[in-house]
């Protein structure tokens, strides 16, 4: 069930990340990454191997350490969280149902390995 926590934390992360000008690019990248991930999960269906391979490719496409750092620096600013949700809320609402599709592969070894890479990003 760790993957479920990861998916849930993805939606919560945006409520904690501020969109200050120096970090707006990282927020945009995080949302884009989640959209990419949602598309991979949606297209993979029940094929956990295909899903894991697609998600692994996405982790290589983005600078996860920079995202983790930006997320950590900007936690807790409620005013900025409101701005984020106004700007990115529609996109997140669309991607979250797709992200929930990861739950069906939560016990897959490849998916479990991806958890550690994504921890702190979402």
Which residues does 115 contact at the CB level (< 8 Å), separation at least 6? Answer: 2, 3, 6
List, for residues 62-105, the tens digit of each pLDDT value. 888 888 777 776 677 677 767 777 888 889 889 999 989 899 99
> Per-residue pLDDT averaged across 23-33, rounded?
81
H-type helices in 17-119, by residue range? 24-44, 48-61, 64-73, 78-99, 109-118
Would you say residue 8 has pLDDT above 70?
A: no
Q: What is the pLDDT of residue 118?
A: 80
Q: What is the pLDDT of residue 10?
A: 57
């Amino acid at each position: 069930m760790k993957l479920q926590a990861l998916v849930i934390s993805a939606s919560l992360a945006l409520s904690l990340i501020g969109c200050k000008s120096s970090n707006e690019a990282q927020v945009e990248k995080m949302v884009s990454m989640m959209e990419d991930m949602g598309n991979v999960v949606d297209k993979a269906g029940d094929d956990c191997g295909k899903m894991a391979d697609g998600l692994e490719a996405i982790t290589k496409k983005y600078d996860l350490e920079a995202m983790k750092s930006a997320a950590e620096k900007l936690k807790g600013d409620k005013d900025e969280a409101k701005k984020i949700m106004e700007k990115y809320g529609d996109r997140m609402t669309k991607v979250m149902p797709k992200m929930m599709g990861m739950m069906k592969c939560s016990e897959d070894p490849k998916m479990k390995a991806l958890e550690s890479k994504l921890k702190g990003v979402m």
